[in-house]
Chain A
Amino acid sequence: MSKYRSLGFFGTLILGAFTRLFLTTNQPLRQWLQNRLEISTPLTSWNRVLEGVYLKWSLNSSSYEGDLVHEIPMMINIYHYLIQLFTNKHIIYVFILIDCLNSILVYKISYKIIQFNCIMENFNKTNGKYARLFESKEKKDDFLLTEKNFKPIFWSLFAMVCYLFNPLNLACCMSQTTVLIQHFVLLMWLNFLLNGKIFMSYIFLAIHANIAVYSLVLIVPSISFIRQKKIFKRKQIKSEFNLISKHATVFVLLFACVFMFNLYLENFNTRFIDCTYLFILKVRDLVPNMGLFWYFLTEMFDHFITFFIYVFQLNAFLYSIPLTLRLRNEPLVNLLIQIGLLYVFKSYPNIGETGLFTSFLPCVAYLFPLMRNVLVFTCMLIAGMVLAPIMFYLWLGSGGGNANFYFAITLVYSVGQIFLLVDVFYACLKREFIKLNGSNVPLNTDGKPANFTLE
């Protein structure tokens, strides 16, 4: 652990914690943030959690009375104990603590990701996989990653800074959204996965999949990662099918266990299924947020809604397997892209989720020179973040605008995120092409240099 004890690490951590503690003194800001729809979605609002706790322990009825609470019973129980331990007034410090833990996890995970990528490329290089790269005319000495030219300590620290001082994450921490705890679960999964403790990682993924149904698909990239790791440890994979089915079964069993545990906590009352899983899948709450669902569904005739919900929800699940197949040699980039895609196609997205996956971008900083639209998506994301509250105000505050104003901005924001993910994907593929085929520009059949396009 000595490497963590660098000055930079603790310095940023303490600075981040102090920034948060300093911001907690600003009560109006916290109030304002708690009421923002972009942060307090139905799934993550702290006020709803309080309601659920009150309903269950003070009124002795179900938390899901009144269809306000959409957290799973397990989480409600955890929050109840947290509130009992710290009282609601001081719970913000727990959130700050969890946010700091998250940032440490981000640091550790980024470190692992970079290290893994470096080792993997070195492994492939010694195996002669990149022979054509060294034969090509135009050479670049530092094209392949090594720990010397892409220092893990520096870039993972940068990732941590990105997490701690991202205004989106700061806003989430100040508004006490439970998205921080969801992040914690997700990061624990990544951490265990990267450290090779597969069973533990599946437990956390199963919990996260119970909270937000969409993360079920993350099992696909995790299996891909495990397979890659096996190859690289020179273990023989007897049958790919066996591997996949084994891991999938374990995960499904764990998922079922967590589900049963929830059911047990609710005394085998199945009501919570409708309020959590089906609430996410059926998109019943059309209060505006930064996602793509609410506007389409409010504008639509009722009899089309079922069909379009199927189509939209398919989007979230569809890309997992094709992406994994295509990026089977870059399992970690695959993981990051898939986490990002989930966050775009979710039914109730929260801006903190964008904050989480953008803070992992320093891990793939080597891809940036190969990206095409960095300026475009940066501007789109900034415009989305700055203009969203203003458009919201114009629509519902001053009355000069209408719903289209806000929707246009959420669209810009979502498209910006998709551009970002597609650009990461594109750059990753291009890099792979160069690694395997060298940097000579191949010729088309008509003799002209070929273009590299994403199709």
Chain B
Amino acid sequence: MSLYKSDSDNKTKLFENVIKFGPVLSILGYLSGIVYFSLLPHESLIHGTYISENALLPGLVTSDIYSTDSIFNYYHFLKDAYENNGGKGYNAELIHDIFANKLKIESYTQNFNLSNPFSNSETDGIKSGTNAYAFGRAQRADGTESIVISAPIYLSGKKKKIPNLFGISQLFILADLAKTRPYWAKDLIFVATDMEHVGIQAWINSYFEAHSDSIKGENLRARGGSIQAALNLEFSDINTNKLEIKLEGPNGKLPNLDLFNTIIRICKSMQFECSLESEKSANSDFSYYHNRPPVDHVSGLINTVNMMLKQATGVPSSLNGYFLNYRIEALTISGTRTSFSSKRSQQKQNVLKTTRIVESTLRSVNNLLERFHQSFFFYLLPSSHYYISIGMYMPAFGLIFLPVLIKILSLWFEIFSNKKSTHSDRNESGLLMLDLLKCVVIKFMISFLFGIVLYLGTPFFLMFGKKFQLSPKDALMNCYLAMMANILMTPFIFRSKFSSSGNKTEAENINKLIILLFLTIFVGTISILNFSLSFFVAIFYSPIALLAIQNVQNRLAKFFKLAMMVVACPIVYFSFIYLLNQYFFENKNFFTNPGQFYVSLSEKFYNFVLFSQISQIWTYEMINLFLVPIWSALWITAFN
């Protein structure tokens, strides 16, 4: 023991142990993290959902909707308007007209336009649309709080737009209730939005007077109180015998779990089938006869991963997501049809039940005394009756990321113990600084330069595309890939520059340490905002980063390392996830024809970039600004 050292013997021993058992611990931690994560939907670890907010009291009210006549009246009226005149009569004006003249409630329309940021010319990129919105003022309340019920006028279908006739008709039924019943404590705001994702954003942005570059909406002429919750209704068909709930908001935000639980409870009490979006379960019969169906491990895991994939993109799964940006808890209720029994009586029953479920949910929310604040904001759902809270899934994430943390510790210790032994050399510090400048600073400057170019480059990419007469889709994808190729080529160009003189290991260790610290900061920060994204980054980049900084002598091993690093290129990795997602969840097999996959990918990529520009989704920017530089630094390091 020497007093010149900073650490006592105990601590030194601890560090030696870390270095000795580090590799074993890392592998063990990583594997146990994955095993633990896949065990999360198991019976022994999972928790059943429950209503945390007492005021909600789901399903305790008697419904005020007795017959389906008026629903069918509105439905057929809208249907006629849609089918005659090529669908032109079915628009926001018509809905506004019904609100204002038939139901006689306060109603307005709002015009908005979307200027496509990627369009070539100033004029043809602008599309415009009209929203209709109406206020069912609570008669005996002071109007300080409100609930929004929104429905898009058209739904996006596989081939063409589908009119949301049933959803819009439900707005009218509810508006009638809002006008005639005395028990409402909150204003009801009815919004019928045009142009799918654009209309709802225009309306919400105008409601909160938020500024957006590409979507410009008229000012709203009236407002309600503070919005407590929002329901978004999407029904492609009136023959509905199952409800699907969509949750995921922009940038990984999720609504309060209480709202979701309320709807599931109400469906249960009405004996109506209800699930998560594209929920898989082995025993679907149980889910609506039993109070709480038995746990189904495998399909639970599949559902969890499916939800995480949707959350990781940061793109909202439906229109409810935009409310979450303003702290409004919101869900989308969408109707689907599982069986084709076209009995008239059965159909009527289903229509009545569906409407009653929406009404009952509204009346539960109407009971609220304070904002949704109980229950969970961070969760994963393996099925509609069970949840995994943040306290359960975070340890899995930590275990998966453990190898990197251990490596950081051991690198740190290595650097410090080295420093002590060679400290006597006077020129050392000067030389080390030179090495650092060469090895670390330049490397990071180049890596982050790439990141900044990608972050700011989208308009330039499109400009190049126009020069070479490419469609915007191809231009964007090709330019992005070209940038990636640039990064891949960097170590060949600067090969001599990066190699350091003098004390090589020291500078290289510091370089590795900084890269790993950057990765840790990035993944750790994202894990709070968008857990799924950081999980998918961590599960691959944690072993890859360790592999990249490992010195290998064997030629085969080195080739394997570099090959893995190419796969680790963010766009390659995320395309691979997209491929698997398409294969397992959408049943599209792209393995057989890669050409079609490339076309589909570049279209998806273009839409994603466009969408993140319009709707202010930061996934693309975050990856460009941070993950690409980290990968680039790893790639350059792996080459030395």
Asked if A and B are interacting partners, one says yes
A390 in contact with B525 (CB, 8 Å): yes
Beyond A142-B426, A369-B423, A399-B327, 8 additional pairs, beta carbon < 8 A: A154-B430, A369-B420, A375-B409, A382-B517, A390-B529, A397-B327, A400-B377, A452-B3
A394 in contact with B528 (CB, 8 Å): yes
| Residues on the A chain within 8 Å of B412, using CB | 375
A449 in contact with B377 (CB, 8 Å): no
Known: A369-B419, A369-B420. A441 touches B3 (CB 8 A): yes
- Interface size class, chain B: 20 to 34
- Interface size class, chain A: 35 or more
A142 in contact with B521 (CB, 8 Å): no
Shortest A380–chain B CB gap in Å is 13
A138 in contact with B2 (CB, 8 Å): yes
Residue on A nearest B376 in the bound complex, by CB = A400
Known: A375-B412, A382-B521. A398 touches B4 (CB 8 A): no
Shortest A123–chain B CB gap in Å is 22
B8 in contact with A452 (CB, 8 Å): yes
Does B424 belong to the interface (CB within 8 Å)?
yes
B426 in contact with A398 (CB, 8 Å): no
A386 in contact with B525 (CB, 8 Å): yes
Does B1 belong to the interface (CB within 8 Å)?
yes
B528 in contact with A142 (CB, 8 Å): no
A434 in contact with B4 (CB, 8 Å): yes
Does A371 belong to the interface (CB within 8 Å)?
yes
Give which listed residue, A370, A382, A394, A433, contacts B6 with CB less than 8 A. Answer: A370
Contact string, A373-411, partner B, CB cutoff 8 A, digits 1/0?
011000000110011001100100111110000000000
Contact string, A84-97, partner B, CB cutoff 8 A, digits 1/0?
00000000000000
| Residues on the B chain within 8 Å of A382, using CB | 517, 521
CA distance A92 to B327 in the complex (A): 35
| Residues on the A chain within 8 Å of B11, using CB | 372
Shortest B322–chain A CB gap in Å is 13
| Residues on the A chain within 8 Å of B6, using CB | 369-372, 427
Contact string, B8-40, partner A, CB cutoff 8 A, digits 1/0?
100100000000000000000000000000000
CA distance A319 to B8 in the complex (A): 27
Q: Which of A424-447 contact B (CB under 8 A)?
A: 427, 430, 433-434, 439-441
| Residues on the B chain within 8 Å of A433, using CB | 3
A to B CB contacts below 8 Å, 18 in the list: A138-B2, A141-B424, A142-B424, A142-B426, A369-B6, A369-B423, A370-B4, A386-B525, A387-B525, A399-B327, A400-B253, A430-B3, A433-B3, A439-B2, A440-B3, A441-B2, A449-B1, A452-B8
Instruction: Tell me the dominant secondary structure on chain B's binding face.
Output: loop
CA distance A439 to B4 in the complex (A): 7
Known: A375-B409, A452-B8. A400 touches B378 (CB 8 A): yes
Please list the residues of chain A having a beta carbon within 8 angstroms of any beta carbon in chain B.
138, 140-143, 148-149, 154, 369-372, 374-375, 382-383, 386-387, 390-391, 394, 397-401, 427, 430, 433-434, 439-441, 449, 451-452
B521 in contact with A439 (CB, 8 Å): no
CA distance A270 to B614 in the complex (A): 55
Does B142 belong to the interface (CB within 8 Å)?
no
CA distance A427 to B7 in the complex (A): 11
Residue on B nearest A365 in the bound complex, by CB = B429
CA distance A389 to B4 in the complex (A): 40
| Residues on the A chain within 8 Å of B420, using CB | 369
A143 in contact with B324 (CB, 8 Å): no
CA distance A33 to B529 in the complex (A): 21
CA distance A394 to B430 in the complex (A): 44
Known: A369-B6, A372-B7, A398-B327. A387 touches B528 (CB 8 A): yes
CA distance A440 to B1 in the complex (A): 9
| Residues on the B chain within 8 Å of A149, using CB | 426
B1 in contact with A441 (CB, 8 Å): yes
Residue on B nearest A405 in the bound complex, by CB = B528
CA distance A81 to B4 in the complex (A): 54
CA distance A341 to B524 in the complex (A): 29
Residue on A nearest B328 in the bound complex, by CB = A399
Known: A142-B424, A390-B525. A451 touches B324 (CB 8 A): no
B4 in contact with A138 (CB, 8 Å): yes
CA distance A154 to B430 in the complex (A): 9
| Residues on the B chain within 8 Å of A440, using CB | 3
A439 in contact with B3 (CB, 8 Å): yes
Give which listed residue, A154, A387, A401, A434, contacts B3 with CB less than 8 A. Answer: A434
Shortest A420–chain B CB gap in Å is 14
CA distance A339 to B23 in the complex (A): 43
| Residues on the A chain within 8 Å of B253, using CB | 398, 400
| Residues on the B chain within 8 Å of A391, using CB | 528
Residue on B nearest A453 in the bound complex, by CB = B8
| Residues on the A chain within 8 Å of B529, using CB | 390, 394
CA distance A399 to B253 in the complex (A): 10
A143 in contact with B1 (CB, 8 Å): no
Contact string, B299-336, partner A, CB cutoff 8 A, digits 1/0?
00000000000000000000000001101000000000
| Residues on the B chain within 8 Å of A398, using CB | 253, 324-325, 327
Known: A149-B426, A398-B253. A143 touches B525 (CB 8 A): no
